[in-house]
Chain A
């Protein structure tokens, strides 16, 4: 997660209309239409989006800014793993001993090739996803990097053979 981009976030006065209640932002139909359109194509111009929705461009611009400022939505370029050279994706379960799961997870999260670290309930304490350009690199990451982190007791690796679907539509923003 790019925590630094949160720091760059603009802060603006709250727009009027739909807003927060019980600490949750309530989206209305206009917001949902914008979200749906931008899920399909994040590069569509505000003007075209406004025309398709039958509202004016300022409405789209204001709503979009409000959704972004409330940390509800972000429009980003998602990179294809294989096109960027990462042919190998390993979902790995981690068993932790003698150290807090959060601390071990934080250390694993520092590794650039680790794209997900999640504290889990079940047989493993953490579920992580590791990417690599080659099997050699994957082997190195698992046995010489992750396995050496204090508190990592056992790894339960698997390797994706063929990815059928990987389309993040949500994230902890």
Chain B
């Protein structure tokens, strides 16, 4: 686990400013906040180096014709397999979220698919081959009412 740094008001303002458009230059943010470009640059470097934020492109899910978010609720063969199963799933590029969980399943993984066939193929050809998986149940998210994509976990 990375050590947590404390964030002050300026850090939060920079994060919020970059939350809706991160292509803005340090100089422009500096002008808006009445601070120097160097102050913004060093603050931003600290936020990035300490993995508080990550700046990256997000593309519209509608690049797919009819995007479905599949929640895969995975049961492992044994308790000892859980972490290994999660690590294997995290390596798959198709999967955007993986966590070990308490409650509904041993592992939750999420993937975006275009239709049922694509999901079936993915489950049979890729997920089923991962050793240690006993059973996969799934629910299909058909319609996003809210999805704040500005949250993430900066692991590794």
Binding site for B on A (CB under 8 A): 1-2, 5, 8, 24, 35, 38-43, 64, 71-84, 89, 91, 93, 102, 105-106, 108-109, 114-124, 126-127, 131, 156-173
Contacts and interface: CB of A to CB of B under 8 A. Distances in A.
Nearest to B71: A127
Contacts of A1: 144, 146-149
A154 B64 CA distance: 32
Contacts of A118: 69, 141-145, 147
A162 B99 contact: yes
A64 B108 CA distance: 34
A168 B102 contact: no
Interface of B: 2, 4-5, 7, 15, 18-23, 44, 50-63, 65, 67, 69, 71, 83, 86-87, 89-90, 95-105, 108, 112, 138-155
Nearest to B153: A166
Contacts of A171: 58-61, 147, 149
Contacts, number: 257
A80 B142 contact: no
B4 A82 contact: yes
A166 B96 contact: yes
8 closest Cβ contacts across the A-B interface? A158-B103, A118-B141, A171-B149, A77-B18, A122-B139, A38-B57, A42-B55, A109-B146
Contacts of A124: 139
Nearest to B73: A158
Contact of A75 (B55, B61, B103): B55
A158 B107 CA distance: 10
Given A117-B144, A121-B140, A158-B105, A165 B21 contact: no
A75 B59 contact: no
9 contacts: A1-B148, A77-B18, A80-B51, A82-B153, A120-B142, A164-B86, A165-B95, A170-B60, A172-B61
A91 B152 CA distance: 14
Nearest to B141: A118
Contacts of B105: 158
Contacts of A35: 57, 59
